[in-house]
């Protein structure tokens, strides 16, 4: 039996500064606050149809994962957020107002085919890929 995957459900980022990452994902990337589970040290943010979970390394869940992310111990290579429509110039201008540098836009293969893609880093150094729709 093939497992019928549909889309990315969520990504979990461990952090020593939940407030800083929450601010970045809400105010820079325009995610919205979905749910806070303070007893677990968990903040869940809505990114389209998916969630980005922020876990405090000092919280109940976070302590299970060991040391905080850093240059010698990242907990994630990158995750990809689908952006549609993909307007490179508008995205670049918006991120620049927040002091965020967007990498070069190149064609990369993703879940829906070859299309425009670029990378940026969040305040903890996690790499976020922004991926447009497949090129026609």
Gap between the Cα atoms of 3 and 72, Å rounded: 34
| Domain CATH code at residue 125 | 3.10.180.10
- What's the domain range around 29? 10-131
The count of other CB atoms within 10 Å of the CB of residue 117 is 20
Question: Is residue 112 included in any domain, yes or no?
Answer: yes
Question: Is residue 22 included in any domain, yes or no?
Answer: yes
pTM across the whole model: 0.79
CA 100 vs CA 31, 44, 63, 108, 129: distances in Å: 16, 22, 30, 21, 13
Q: How many domains would you assign to the chain?
A: 1
pLDDT of residue 35: 95
Identify whether the C-beta of residue 74 lies closer than 8 Å to the C-beta of residue 126.
Answer: yes
Gap between the Cα atoms of 78 and 56, Å rounded: 19
Q: In what order do the strands lie in the sheet with 113-121?
A: 78-82, 127-131, 113-121, 106-110
20-62 residue pLDDT tens: 999 999 999 999 999 999 988 899 999 998 999 999 988 887 7
């Amino acid at each position: 039996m093939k497992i019928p995957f549909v889309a990315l459900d969520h990504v979990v980022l461990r952090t020593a500064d939940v407030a800083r990452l929450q601010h970045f994902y809400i105010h820079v990337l325009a995610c919205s606050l979905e749910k806070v589970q303070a007893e677990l040290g968990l903040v869940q943010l809505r990114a389209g149809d998916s969630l980005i979970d922020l876990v405090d390394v000092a919280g109940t869940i976070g302590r299970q994962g060991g040391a905080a992310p850093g240059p010698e111990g990242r907990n994630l290579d990158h995750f990809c957020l689908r952006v549609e429509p993909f307007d490179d110039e508008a995205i670049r201008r918006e991120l620049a107002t927040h002091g965020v540098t967007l990498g070069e836009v190149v064609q990369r293969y993703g879940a829906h085919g070859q299309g425009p893609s670029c990378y940026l880093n969040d305040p903890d150094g996690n790499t976020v890929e922004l991926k447009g729709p497949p090129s026609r």
